[in-house]
Each structure stands twice: as C-alpha cells, then as structure tokens.
Amino acid sequence: MLFKNNAYQMQGIPLLDIAKQFGTPLYVYDTSVMQVQYKKLIEAFPKTRIKLKYAAKALSNIEVLKYMRSLGAGLDAVSIQEVELGLLAGFTPDEIMYTPNGVSFDEIKEGVDIGVTLNIDNISVLEQFGNTYQGSVPVCIRINPHLMAGGNPKISTGHIDSKFGISILQTRHLLRVIETYKLKVVGLHMHTGSDILDAEVFLNGAKLLFDLAKELPQLEFIDFGSGFKVPYHASDVQVDITDLGKKISKAFNEFCQTYGRPLELWFEPGKYLVSEAGVLLVKTNVVKTTPATVFAGVDSGLNHLIRPMMYDAYHDIVNISNTQGTKRVYSIVGYICETDTFGWDRQLHEITEGDILAIKNAGAYGYSMASNYNSRFRPAEVLVLEGKPYLIRKRETLDDLTRNQVPITKN
C-alpha cells in the first residue's frame, strides 16, 4: 500500500476504488509485495542450495498458493487439509512438507499415501511410524532446541515448555529409535517462533542440529523454519535479512563441507512473505464520544482479525477517505459483542461515519484465523495481480452459515 497523489494505492489502483467495487469488510493482497519479499529471501543466501516452503497457515487462499508456486516456492502444510489445498493449487506431493502436531496416526498415514514429506515431532509417533513402514518411507524430524525466539512467549515455539518438536535433550533416545527401526531420516527441522531479528537465534539452533546431523548419514536437507520479523509499528526494527543470510549461509556451507556433501537449506516463511502485502478495509459505522474516549466503530471485529486481541499485536491504521484532515485521537473498535479493539488512542485524520479505514499488515494470520463468531459473515478477499484486482473469495452469506446445519426430523 503506497501513498501517492493524496491517495492510498495498491499497484496504482486507489484502495477506495477497490472498496467501492467489492464492498467492506475486505481483505486486499498485493502480489508485487509478495514477489519483492520472496526475492529478498532468495538473494539473501548466496551460494547456498536454498528452498523456500511457503507456510500455508499464514494465508491459505488457493490463488495465493498458486502465486507462491509461480514464484518458485514449495509448501509448508500443518494439516492434511492444507496438504489438500496445496494439491488443488498445483503443488506436487514432493513439493510439500507436512508438519502435523497432535494429530491421529491415521492423518500421518494419509500424508504418506499422498506422498508428501512427513516431518514428525514426537518420539511416540516416530515409533509408530517405524513399526508401520519399517524404514521404507523417508522422514524428517522436528527438534525443539529450547531457544526462546523474539520477545513474545505467545508466538515462541522453541522453548522448553513448548508442545512442538522432540527435545534436543532426548537426542540419545531419538537415535536409538532411529537405529532400531532403521528409519531413513532425510531432514532435520526446527522452528523457534516469530519476530526473530538476530541471526544468532538461527545459528545457536543450527549448532545443535549440526551436531545431531553428524549422526544421520542420509540427510538431504536441514530446515530452519522461519520467524523473520516484519515491522508492524513505524518504530519497529526490521530484520536485516542480507546480514542474516550471509551468516547462516557461511555456517551452513561450512557444515556441508564437514558433512561430506552439499545439503539443501530450507526455510518456511509465511508472515514474512504476506504480512505487509495485505490490508483489511473496513467502513466506519459509528463515531461515539464517551467521557473518556472517542470510538470509531467499524464493520469488522475480532471475527476477522483476531491478532490484536490474541497476541496484543499492533496494526497501523489509516483513514483512506480523509488523508489531509485534522488529526484526532480515536480508539478503533469492532462490532462484536466482546472487547475487540483494533487500536487504542490512535492519531488519525478526522473520521466521519462512512469513512473507509485501512488496517495494515493484515496479510498474515488475518483471514486464515477468521471465524463466524456472533454469526457474522467472513469477508471477501481480493488479490491485486499485474495491476488488476481479482475477487478470490466471495463474501459469505446466510446460506454459508446454515449449509451444514441439519434440522431434526421426527418420525
């Protein structure tokens, strides 16, 4: 989203025009931003056999998945349904990494039958895998390195209390299981969480994975997950992806020399690729003054964007209907019968009822975490591709809410 000629635009199209054409609330995604972010990551790892697996959980619309594949990405799926969406988007099974957590073994077998790369994060499940497949199916293993990523425990997945991964402290047990079942371990994986700024987080985890990798002669890749920080606030520090890439590439390539052959370096970016590409457009329903606060109430809420309520996440908000007016202080709130505040005490150009507001950095974990709470409809989605807006998901209707409800019929 760029501000040009006194208007907020996406690929030269005024966002107000998009809102008028498709209505609000509306998610809008800019493919040119996705492309820039993808290229930055690829170019940050020179002389390295790098593969990016797009994290479908961040934004799983099939047209977005297709676009990611057109850029050259593979797919990181965390459910069998995401696997199936990936197949519908054109990914081949060998392009998909499937990392389930806490699922039944039937879902694991389903992934094997499809032919995706399985990433297992539990010794018990690994033993079931060994009993069932007797080393005939290659597997990746997810390790919990016990490293805290970023400053928010709600989005950290590599600490000692996390449910994700096999503890690095269980290495000896893990190796015995691998040997007993003659497992063909082709990959090692870790993911420590989000908002990572420092290469040291990856490098500290890498040292642990490299030590374990020396015990596994059939490796084809090492997957460092993702979690690269993107700026949400104007004052946020952004990850220096070039510096991070050089440091990780150096350590990885040196390890490959020690290992005796080149391996592939995998990452699973989601937020980094799509967060800044997306905005949520909402209409101001009411401006309400109380003794303490001026509220701007909009036609959306935590049912469409839960991150501010769930993670205390900051999203910048701008009034795209009034880009030059006097700035006043507002709290932007939703229409849900809960506390669903998008932003407290924000300075915005004066808001009047009917104005369109844009909530920035809404591309990741926005629509994909949306719900029908309060029986509200989920919004439409638009993808801006090559200078044109395309509707890629229709706004829900009452038929969508009732489609799977079954009336009682008495004999």
Cis previous bond, 25, omega within 30: yes
Q: Which of 292, 337, 398, 406 is catalytic?
A: 337
In eight-state DSSP terms, residue 48 is S
SS3 104: coil
Tokens describing residue 162: 């996390």
Between CA 249 and CA 285 the distance in angstroms is 51
Between CA 227 and CA 267 the distance in angstroms is 9
Report the length, in residues, of the chain. Answer: 411
Between CA 246 and CA 56 the distance in angstroms is 26
Between CA 294 and CA 257 the distance in angstroms is 62
Phi and psi for 80 in degrees, rounded to 5? -65, -25
CB 80, CB 65: distance < 8 Å: no
Residue 256 is a catalytic residue:
no
Judged on CB neighbours under 10 Å (0-12, 13-18, 19+), 30 is buried
Active site residues per annotation: 337
